Amino acid sequence: MATSISDALQRASRNCAERGLAFTPIRQRVLQLLLENPKGLKAYDLLARIKAEQPSATPPTVYRALDFLTEHQLAHKIERNATFVACTRDSHIEPGIFLVCPQCGGITELADVGVLQALCRALADAGHQLDNPEVEIGATCPACRPA
Ligand SMILES: [Zn+2]
Ligand SMILES: [Zn+2]
């Protein structure tokens, strides 16, 4: 396992412990698969992979694990691609901003807290509330941008 992945799992585990949440083996495994696939996985791909390892796993178990991870911002659902990605930040309570490349489907989570807080303030000033904690922006990634 790559160090960054095991680091991220340890961080998530600490995060859960601090918040009194149970980081069960299925939740860990789902998060690990998401960490191993930076472009994200669709729910059914994730289910297929889990089922390949644990034939007894049922769709609700996997979907509940995904719900847990997204609810606690350890992973995020990107509606545009209907994919789930692991959170790349230490932890956050504010929404995340995601740059989604229309060419390759690459997803980057912005880590600029100032931008996020400014966005929240601007939304509140306009009297609006976010529907999802994931804000998606279509933006061509450096690898797909013409030189
Ligand atoms: Zn995040
Ligand atoms: Zn791209």
- Beta carbons of 81 and 107 less than 8 angstroms apart: yes
Dihedral pair phi/psi, residue 15, rounded to 5°: -55, -45
What tokens does 67 get?
A: 């719900």
What tokens does 94 get?
A: 């504010």
- Per-residue confidence (pLDDT) for residue 112, from 0 to 100: 86
Domain ranges for the chain, please list them. 3-86, 96-138
Q: Is the pLDDT of residue 78 over 90?
A: yes
CA nearest to 86, candidates 73, 99, 97: 73
DSSP 5-27: HHHHHHHHHHHHHHTT----HHH
Residue 21: pLDDT band by 50, 70, 90 thresholds?
Answer: very high
| Protein residues within 5 Å, CB atom, of ion ligand 1 | 87, 89, 96
Q: Cα(56) to centroid of ligand 1, in Å? A: 30
**pTM attached to this predicted model:** 0.89
Q: What kind of fold does domain 96-138 have according to CATH?
A: Dna Ligase; domain 1 (3.30.1490)
- For domain 3-86, say whether CATH 2.60.120.10 is its number: no
Q: Cα(139) to centroid of ligand 2, in Å? A: 8
